[in-house]
Structure 1
Amino acid sequence: MELLHSGKVRDVYADGEDLILVASDRMSVFDVVLPTPIPDKGAILTQLSLWWFDQLADLVPNHVISEDVPAEWAGRAIRCRRLKMVPVECVARGYLTGSGLRDYEATGVVSGIELPAGLVESSQLAEPIFTPSTKAAMGAHDEPMTFAEVITTVGAATAEQLRDITLAIYRRGSEIAAERGILIADTKIELGWDADSQLVLGDEVLTPDSSRFWSAEDYVPGKVQDSFDKQPLRDWAVGLGWDKTAPGPEVPAEIVERTRARYVAAYERLTGRTWS
């Protein structure tokens, strides 16, 4: 097999007409891949994505062919269809936090959408919004796009499809997660065209790497929420005084285990399955 691409987390191999998408245990902060892996992370991301692909199958087709992959990647890789990826990051937000909050505080606007005055950190929005961004090269940062800019990039009909699919996935995911005590603050999905020019869901979906998961029980607007993701790792990295450039620092065992526990908790609460 030929290695086509190696990203911060995933490696993509060509196997004839198929692709093999391998999720590694690599972890990054501030767009820098750290030297210390998080055990089971790749398998959790893959298995949780597969579970979500099933929950969303009636909304949008996905790229999964099977889990028939080489033995050394079993559990953390999928065989999938080749897609021509859309040159837009498709993001939905139901709560105001992160870069969306920063843009709102500066201008009152997020991706061209004017929001009401008086919103605070973690405020729930009246309706989920589509807040697309550019697809930056590895190591660079995505920049917000307005819907008009998406239309310029892909055309009006495709732009409407991207928005509608993204919001439908967010709403379905939020409903399912809420039944399990989890709020999905926001999520990013990847869409691409298949050989028949149909939009297809690819990469990963509704994982701790592509979404912010918050505990519904502990949710209090006006403050940063505790999340089911690499937050322990980010907090540790911030406290180092590190200049956020490569090479990154080695991660202590305690932080590795706390981070792994967040991924396991997200998987178990959402799927109802026990991670072994």
Structure 2
Amino acid sequence: MTFTPSFTNVPGWKHIYSGKVRDLYSPLTGPDDRVLVVASDRISAYDFVLSSEIPDKGRVLTQLSLWWFEQLAEVPNHVLSTEVPAEVAGRGMICRKLDMFPVECIARGYLTGSGLLEYRSAGTVCSLPLPPGLVDGSRLDPAVFTPSAKAAVGEHDENIAYDDVVTTVGAPVAEELRRLTLAIYGRAEEVARSRGIILADTKVEFGLSTDGQITLGDEVLTPDSSRFWDAALYAPGQAQPSFDKQFVRDWLTSDASGWDKSSTPPELPAGIIAKTRARYIEAYERLTGLTFV
């Protein structure tokens, strides 16, 4: 599945790929080991990219990722520069090209989502046995590494066991991916908690740089890749209000949308777009302590 890039004319760069949210560009001149990564305002839900966009979403994702990269300075990341063409200022990063590992690296500190579904049926998450009696929102201490296999756009990622990661990338790399993922989660969980936010889980991606270093890529610790909950409202045993596209999901599955999940989702109402934008910005401001401009 391909998507139309939000920015077709970026001086000095040629569009090479569009994903659900990000557009990639290669340089027209100079070293070809760089890539311009631009976060659009596209939003996806239930494996569909919606026709409606969320204004400033791409800027929030980029600025929040950059802030987290600074907090995680001990972990090598792919960012080279934020000196980008004016057309994509605030939402673009010049990055190292990475040979990405075909594994979604997920750390869970709380039981919810697909992990909860597996737990309810088998008492495990990614084949890891968990204690009995856990409920939606139960804390997992220590956090667990629950990888998934990357799926094609429009399909669900599939939870896999750690042994599957070993088979895919080898034991030394698998162990380092697990160590880095849990270290990132541990650091970020402390930071978020100090700001009244619970980091329930997060997904990160890694690749190999040209010098063979395992490097953190893509985005990190944004509302698109993580579940953030308001600590003041946290109540195990139920779904938690989250700082992400919850308003979009809730509206799509409500009677008001008229959507049956077998067709393309309808356009979002202006009110849902505004609430979703505000939620993303609130996550940015509460986590960073900065005002979103």
TM over 0.5: yes
| 2:39 maps to which of 8, 11, 23 | 23
Q: Secondary structure at the match of 2:42?
A: coil
Distance in 2, Cα, partners of 1:94 & 1:241 = 35
Distance in 2, Cα, partners of 1:172 & 1:53 = 12
Over residues 130-178 of structure 1, what are the superposed CA-to-partner deviations in whole Å (9 max), with x where a residue is unaligned?
Answer: 0000000000111111111110001100000000000000000000000
Shift of residue 47, structure 1, vs aligned partner? 0.2
Partner of 2:18: 6
User: Matched residue pairs, number?
Assistant: 275
Distance in 2, Cα, partners of 1:131 & 1:51 = 25
1:32–1:245 contact (8 Å) kept in structure 2: no
Q: Secondary structure at the match of 2:216?
A: strand
Partner of 1:45: 61
Distance in 1, Cα, partners of 2:45 & 2:204 = 20
Distance in 2, Cα, partners of 1:145 & 1:62 = 25
Q: Secondary structure at the match of 1:166?
A: helix
Distance in 2, Cα, partners of 1:22 & 1:199 = 22
Shift of residue 17, structure 1, vs aligned partner? 2.8
Q: Secondary structure at the match of 2:206?
A: strand
Partner of 2:285: 268
| 1:197 maps to which of 188, 196, 212 | 212
Q: Secondary structure at the match of 1:27?
A: strand
- Quote the RMSD (CA, aligned, Å): 0.9
Q: 1:255 and 2:267 equivalent?
A: no
Aligned residue type for 1:156 = A
Over residues 39-62 of structure 1, what are the superposed CA-to-partner deviations in whole Å (9 max), with x where a residue is unaligned?
Answer: 01000000000000000011x100
Return 5+ residue gaps in structure 2 as ranges.
1-12
Report the CA distance shift for 1:19/1:27 in structure 2 as closer, same or farther (over 3 A): same
Over residues 199-246 of structure 1, what are the superposed CA-to-partner deviations in whole Å (9 max), with x where a residue is unaligned?
Answer: 000000000000000011110100100000000010000113413345
Partner of 1:93: 108
| 2:164 maps to which of 141, 145, 149 | 149
Partner of 1:210: 225
2:62–2:92 contact (8 Å) kept in structure 1: yes
Distance in 2, Cα, partners of 1:62 & 1:104 = 33
| 1:130 maps to which of 126, 142, 145 | 145
4+ aligned runs moved over 4 Å, structure 1:
none
TM-score by length of 2: 0.92
Return 5+ residue gaps in structure 1 as ranges.
none
Partner of 1:63: 78
Distance in 1, Cα, partners of 2:36 & 2:251 = 33
Shift of residue 3, structure 1, vs aligned partner? 2.0
Aligned residue type for 2:100 = M
Q: 1:36 and 2:52 equivalent?
A: yes
Distance in 2, Cα, partners of 1:106 & 1:117 = 12
Query: What pairs up with 1:234-249 in 2 under 5 angstroms?
Result: 234-239=249-254, 240-245=257-262, 247-249=264-266
Distance in 2, Cα, partners of 1:88 & 1:250 = 32
Aligned residue type for 1:112 = S
Distance in 2, Cα, partners of 1:252 & 1:142 = 29
Partner of 2:90: 75
1:32–1:246 contact (8 Å) kept in structure 2: no
Distance in 2, Cα, partners of 1:206 & 1:243 = 31
Aligned residue type for 1:248 = P
Distance in 1, Cα, partners of 2:156 & 2:234 = 28
1:129–1:167 contact (8 Å) kept in structure 2: yes
Partner of 2:125: 110
Q: 1:175 and 2:187 equivalent?
A: no
Shift of residue 197, structure 1, vs aligned partner? 1.0
Greater Cα offset, 11-20 or 230-239: 11-20
2:252–2:265 contact (8 Å) kept in structure 1: no
